[in-house]
Amino acid sequence: MIVGVLGLQGAVREHVKSLERLGTDTKIVKGEADLDGISGLVLPGGESTAISLLASGSLLERLRRMAGEGFPMFGTCAGMILLSREVDGAPSPYIGAIDIGVRRNASGRQVDSFETILKVEGIGEDVPAVFIRAPYVTRLGERVVPMALYAGAVVMAREENVLVTSFHPELTEDLRIHRYFLGMIEEKDEAKEGEG
> Tens of pLDDT along 121-179?
999 999 999 998 889 999 999 999 999 999 999 999 999 999 999 999 999 999 999 99
CA gap 150, 162 in Å, rounded: 20
Rounded CA separation 149/165 (Å): 10
pLDDT digits (tens, 9 = 90+) for 2-14: 999 998 767 789 9
Q: Is the pLDDT of residue 111 over 60?
A: no
pLDDT of residue 143: 98
Task: Encode pLDDT of 12-59 as tens digits.
Answer: 899 999 999 999 999 999 888 999 999 999 999 876 555 666 656 788
Q: 178 and 184 in contact (C-beta within 8 Å)?
A: no
How many C-beta neighbours within 10 Å does residue 144 have? 20
Query: Which whole number is the average pLDDT over 105-128?
Result: 84
Q: CA-based Rg of the chain, rounded to a whole angstrom?
A: 15
pLDDT at 95: 92
Higher pLDDT, 193 or 32: 32
CA nearest to 94, candidates 46, 42, 51, 132: 51
- How far apart, in whole angstroms, are the C-alpha atoms of residue 179 and residue 163? 12
Tell me which amino acid residue 85 is.
R
What's the rounded Cα separation, in Å, for the pair 15 and 8? 13
Is residue 66 within 8 A of residue 101, CB to CB? The reply is no
Burial of residue 93, with CB atoms counted within 10 A of its CB: 0-12 exposed, 13-18 middle, 19 or more buried: middle
| Domains of the chain: residue spans and CATH | 2-195 (3.40.50.880)
* Residue of 15, 77, 159, 178 marked catalytic: 77
Query: Annotated catalytic, 168?
Result: yes
Which of the residues 14, 15, 170, 178 is marked catalytic? 170
Q: What is the model's pTM?
A: 0.93
Q: What is the pLDDT of residue 84?
A: 96
